[in-house]
Amino acid sequence: MPNLVSHLRIGVLTYPIYVFLYNSIFAFLKKSVSLSGFDLALGYLAYILGSDLPDLDSANAPLRNLTKVFLYGFSIFVFYEFLLEKFRSLNVLSNLPDAMLSSAALGLSLAIGAGLVNMFLSLPLFYHRGFVHSITFGAIYGFLVYLFLQPLVKNVIFIGVSAFFGVFVHLLSDYAKKPWKAFKLW
């Protein structure tokens, strides 16, 4: 079973090949796609995180912890602005400096993220090489990345597809001896 470093290395090495295939398929379909440096960099991050993400269910603690702290970033994105607005609207807190309120909202977002991620990981679904090692999980991850970035990025489909293929490359390298298992649905 490849470890974190090998998964990341495989991710770095296969990303240009994946981009080549992505561009080739669009060229074959006679659709033009122009990916900017920003699209490629963002796609790279989604792909690299995906190429490590399935090992969230690993018994290997450093690897699991690294992946978990990356995920807390999503929680900041989802909860921070909502919490900050709530804090500003509360009479008891309205006299406090804004720097304090934003730190409190940031801290609480991270705490909620940590709580949610750890709660999900304690579900029986996350036994090693279970659901997280499946293409359905890859598709859910890709779709979430798409939803989060849709308002912000023009070539958002590329970023979502990159996220999915990051997970898929992870599955292929885990199941190198039985490649058909990389296609398992759960």
57 binds Zn ion (CB under 5 A): no
Min dist CB 107 to Zn ion, Å, is 32
Return the range that interacts with Zn ion (CB under 5 A); candidates 73-81, 93-101, 135-143, 166-174.
166-174
Which is closer to Zn ion, CB of 86 or CB of 181? 181
39 binds Zn ion (CB under 5 A): no
Which of 5, 67, 65, 46 is CA-nearest to residue 168?
Answer: 46
Task: By CB under 5 A, name the one of 54, 113, 138, 160 that touches Zn ion.
Answer: 54
Which is closer to Zn ion, CB of 39 or CB of 55? 55
- Look up residue 33 and give its DSSP letter: -
Which of 66, 3, 51 is CA-nearest to residue 171?
Answer: 51
174 binds Zn ion (CB under 5 A): yes
Return the range that interacts with Zn ion (CB under 5 A); candidates 25-33, 70-78, 142-150, 171-179.
171-179
Q: How far apart are CA 113 and CA 147, in angstroms?
A: 18
Rg (CA), the chain: 19
Task: By CB under 5 A, name the one of 22, 55, 146, 159 that touches Zn ion.
Answer: 55
Residue 181's alpha-carbon distances to 1, 43, 92, 133, in angstroms, are 14, 25, 56, 9
Min dist CB 52 to Zn ion, Å, is 9
Q: How far apart are CA 85 and CA 125, in angstroms?
A: 35
Min dist CB 171 to Zn ion, Å, is 7
- Look up residue 178 and give its DSSP letter: S
Structure tokens at 52: 């490590």
Residue nearest to Zn ion (CB): 174
138 binds Zn ion (CB under 5 A): no
Cβ atoms of 138 and 184 within 8 Å: the answer is no
Interface residues toward Zn ion, by CB under 5 A: 54-55, 174
